[in-house]
Chains A and B, each alone.
Chain A
């Protein structure tokens, strides 16, 4: 049963990837390609947030900070130090991960709430540093005119990522690799341990699970990939300025995760695809665009309070609670005596 679902979603994933890879040849529409780049970029951010929030249970506002750190680091290393684009992006990811480790290690010793607040401060601080450390970041004007990335490929090949199509492939390729990593971790026993920590931390601790280690793993992994995608994305924009730390990114990826259902890989990926396109799909009515966007969000929240993934989960639970034949699920001979089935009793 669950095996069939897995192979079904695997086939769907392959089909989707094939479609996305073939899209530029099916249609040279640059507007579609731009949407594709946006989807690829946001998918890395939202899946990272899904790992941190949906799995490890940590509400985090820090993703945008990692994204921007990666963007600035990559841009500066390429421009000022003449690094290759690959190694600069990797360095951006590593620096973002180091920042993630630092804020996580410092605040998680207190509580999840402390982490949420520290992550918010971190993101704001990043923006202030980018704006005010003028000698390094050139301040609010940003660094325009980022060069066309030239990627060294194995076998002495060079890939000049100049056309929108090239960027589309670069971002899509990176997103696919990143999603594969997120999927691997979420489906493994590591993801299971993270969910255990989110669902019941004392119980997990009492079973030998180290919450701090798993939470840091989630944060660091999401930070590396967010940093790297930032390092790739700003070269598509050809400018890096303090707006890479904008709250817009935070709010968008939070909405993507909440609508998709925290803890649901496919749910979040699906909502990312829809929400990356939605503001543009609503362009037919410029005046009402954001009003409609808001209305759709509210409607979805009302219908699916746990996101799409949460709705599916509830259906699954309901199936087990349904009486089978004449007998209810519980084989418990006398019920529970003093109380009925269900969580939260006593």
Chain B
């Protein structure tokens, strides 16, 4: 499980090669390469401003990198629009949780799944047996997911009525509707209380149990160490360490990045 990836002969599910993103003088992501195996859970950690979110924005199509390629199941996703990347099976959540606040939870989940069921525009308007079956399947799946995240009674409630943590759960459930191969969670438990963190962890494990690989960006180190089989550490856009959680935790470079060097070094990159 914790073997160093470059020697792995099996083609990985997801592979990033030489990703770079610069803003004027600032290099946000610097020649970043990594792999995610099928069914794996990879943690992406690093101090604030280390390029975690930028690298995620790049591979999901929300920002255009200056260099690099990335492949999902052998198919290059570089230069594709965000919705194409999502349709290919790479789905993300957002750091500041996003939901369709005015819509019901059920509709939130229906929307998440509707572009993946092969129903075209014309059929969506003319109806028919296939549309009906697809909708029934989606509603069944949505009901199951709402049960899983403990919100079955609120299927008709608007998402705005949920708490912050509950909306994070809803976001994870929504990714499950999209039939993903790889889900990237951007800070799934930031600002969430410990009880809710356990619920979110359960939902993530459930997602993983369905065969979905995950990349988790998170500042809560304990949460990452708990869930992830492998951890990448970024600093200043570069990967400074990679490996099993226990190894990474004691890596001197990582400690320096988080806590600052004892002398002559940079100031610690403080974070919350």
Contact = CB atoms under 8 A, between A and B. Distances in A.
Given A209-B111, A339-B164, 17 more contacts: A193-B114, A196-B111, A206-B94, A207-B113, A207-B115, A208-B91, A316-B158, A317-B102, A317-B158, A320-B158, A320-B161, A329-B157, A332-B162, A332-B166, A333-B196, A334-B196, A337-B192
A192 B157 contact: no
A258 interface: no
Interface of B: 60-62, 81-83, 86-87, 91-94, 96-103, 107, 110-116, 119, 121, 124-125, 150-151, 153-154, 156-158, 160-166, 174, 177-178, 190-196
A336 B193 contact: yes
Interface of A: 2, 184-185, 188-190, 192-193, 195-196, 199-200, 202-211, 217, 313, 316-317, 320-321, 329-343, 345-346
B164 A336 contact: yes
A189 B124 contact: yes
Contact of B191 (A202, A208, A336): A336
Contacts of B113: 207
Contacts of A200: 98-100
Given A195-B100, A337-B191, A208 B87 contact: yes
Given A185-B125, A332-B166, A202 B193 contact: no
B193 A337 contact: yes
A330 B98 CA distance: 18
Nearest to A337: B193
A303 B160 CA distance: 22
A185 B122 CA distance: 10
B196 A343 contact: no
B94 A203 contact: yes
Contacts of B119: 189
A267 to B, nearest CB: 14
Contacts of B93: 206
B113 to A, nearest CB: 8
B160 A342 contact: yes
A246 to B, nearest CB: 34
A244 B16 CA distance: 56
Contacts of B100: 195-196, 199-200, 203
Contacts of A335: 163, 193
B87 to A, nearest CB: 4
Contacts of A203: 94, 98-100
B196 A336 contact: yes
A330 B194 contact: no
B103 A195 contact: yes
B191 A332 contact: no
Nearest to A341: B163
Contacts of A208: 83, 86-87, 91, 115-116, 178
10 contacts: A184-B125, A185-B125, A190-B125, A206-B86, A208-B86, A211-B83, A320-B161, A336-B163, A336-B165, A341-B163
A207 B158 contact: no
Nearest to B187: A346
Nearest to A211: B83
Contacts of A217: 121
A205 B83 contact: yes
B165 A337 contact: yes
A206 B92 contact: yes
Contact of A340 (B110, B114, B163): B163
Contact of B111 (A185, A193, A320): A193
B193 A338 contact: yes
Contact of A202 (B81, B94, B107): B94
A235 B252 CA distance: 82
Ranked 6 nearest A-B pairs via Cβ = A337-B193, A208-B115, A205-B82, A208-B86, A203-B98, A208-B87
A192 B107 contact: yes
A109 B77 CA distance: 20
Contacts of A338: 191-193
